[in-house]
Amino acid sequence: MLNSLADPPAGPARKVRQGAPLRAIAFGASTGGLQPLATILRMLAGRRLDAPLLVALHTPPQFCETVAGALRRESGRVVVAATIPAPLLPDAIYLAAADMHLNILRKLGQPEAQSVEPSPDDRYRPSVDLLFASAAQAFRRDLLAIVLTGMGEDGLAGARAVVDSGGQVVTQAPQTCAAPTMPAAVIAAGLSRASMSPEEIAAHILIRRDAIAHA
C-alpha cells in the first residue's frame, strides 16, 4: 500500500553545474525498493545512457539472484554482481555480491566496482551510504544519486557526500513510497534537488542525458 505522507519541507536548493556530464547513476533503496527501481529501469530500457547504473538495494542474501534476474528482465541490460573488481561499462547494472557492500574505486584512473566485506556492526547490506560516498569520490560532479523508498536513514550520509562533491541527488516522493523515511531524511536535510515519482525520475534521467548530449 502506498504511504500518504506528504513531502516534508525541503531545505535550500543545491545547484549542480549546468552541462556537467552524466557519467554514473547510483540508486539506493530498501523496503519496497524493487518495484520503483524496476519501473525506472523499464522506462529506460532500450535507451543509451552512456553511464553505468550502480545499485544498493537492501536484500537478504537468498534473494540476490532473484533481484538480479528481475532487474535483467525489466531493463534488458547486463547485470553484474561484482564478486571481483570489475571495470564499469556504460549501460550495465552493477550490484553487490550476496551479503556484501558495493564499492566504487578508481584503478589507474578507470572506475571499477567491487564487493567488500561488511563489518559485523553494519546494519544495512549493501550500504547505500558506502555506494554513494565511494561513487561520489570516483565521479564527483558527474554523478546522479537517487534515493528510493526505504526505512531508516541509510543514504543520508552518502547523499551529503554526493552533494559536497558537486553531484546531484534526487529522491522518490515520499507519498509514492512503501516506506518513506529514507527519502524523507534526505529531503529534510536539504540534499534533494527534486522529489519525484519513479516515472518522473526516469524522465529526469533521460532529460538530463539528452540535454548534455545536445549541449
Catalytic positions: 30, 58, 154
The CA-atom distances, in angstroms, between 166 and each of 14, 32, 48, 77, 92 are 9, 29, 24, 28, 24
Cβ atoms < 10 Å from Cβ of 117 = 10
Give the count of beta carbons closer than 10 Å to the beta carbon of residue 87. 12
Report H helices in the chain: 34-44, 64-75, 128-139, 156-164, 181-188, 198-213
Strand-by-strand arrangement of the 168-172 sheet: 79-81, 93-95, 53-57, 24-29, 143-147, 168-172, 195-196
CA atoms within 13 A on the CB side of 172: 33
Task: Name the amino acid, one letter, at 214.
Answer: H
Antiparallel, parallel or unpaired: β 110-116 and 101-107: antiparallel
Residues 6+ apart with CB under 8 A from 110: 87, 88
Q: Kindly compute the dihedral angle of the four CA atoms of residues 71, 164, 111, 48, in this order, to the nearest 10 degrees.
A: 50
